[in-house]
Amino acid sequence: MFSQPSQVPKAFRGEDAPPPAFDKLRAAYKYANDCLKEAGFIAGTDHMTIADLSMVSFYGTAHVCKFVDMSAYPELAAWYAKMKSLIPNFEQAYQEGHDAWAGVMGAKIGL
């Protein structure tokens, strides 16, 4: 879970996440961003796989909750836009959940 180390302390214990949690999150997104440069999909393929479907949840949550500055990961942003167009019923399957989680986190930590 890419975003958990940075959100759990604040949301559920009232503590700020330690800086290394955000460093790990940034490193994970950099790795994924770099992998996407090669093939365009998370598993290094030229087509969508279950790895992409899984990553959409993690990326989408971090994106709507603004845990880190996502502008540093342009390949991820392009991939996410592509996933929105490739996944049938994306809005219902993913976006509604992302938005709901952002609401929960917003109430907990003031997003």
Count structural domains, the chain.
Answer: 1
Residue 56 is assigned to a structural domain of this protein? yes
DSSP string for residues in 8-45? HHHHHHS-PPPHHHHHHHHHHHHHHHHHHHHHSSTTSS
Question: What's the first-to-final CA gap in the chain, in angstroms?
Answer: 20
**pLDDT per residue as tens, the chain (111 positions):** 444 555 555 556 566 666 777 788 888 889 989 989 888 999 989 999 999 988 887 777 776 666 678 889 999 999 989 998 998 887 777 767 666 766 666 656 555
Examine residue 111 and state whether it is found in any structural domain, yes or no.
no
The answer to whether position 44 is within a domain reads yes
Domain coverage including residue 50: 4-106
We report the CATH number of the domain holding residue 60 as: 1.20.1050.10
30 belongs to a structural domain = yes
**37 in Cβ contact with 22 (< 8 Å):** no
Whole-prediction pTM value? Answer: 0.73
Q: Which two tokens stand for residue 87?
A: 């996944």
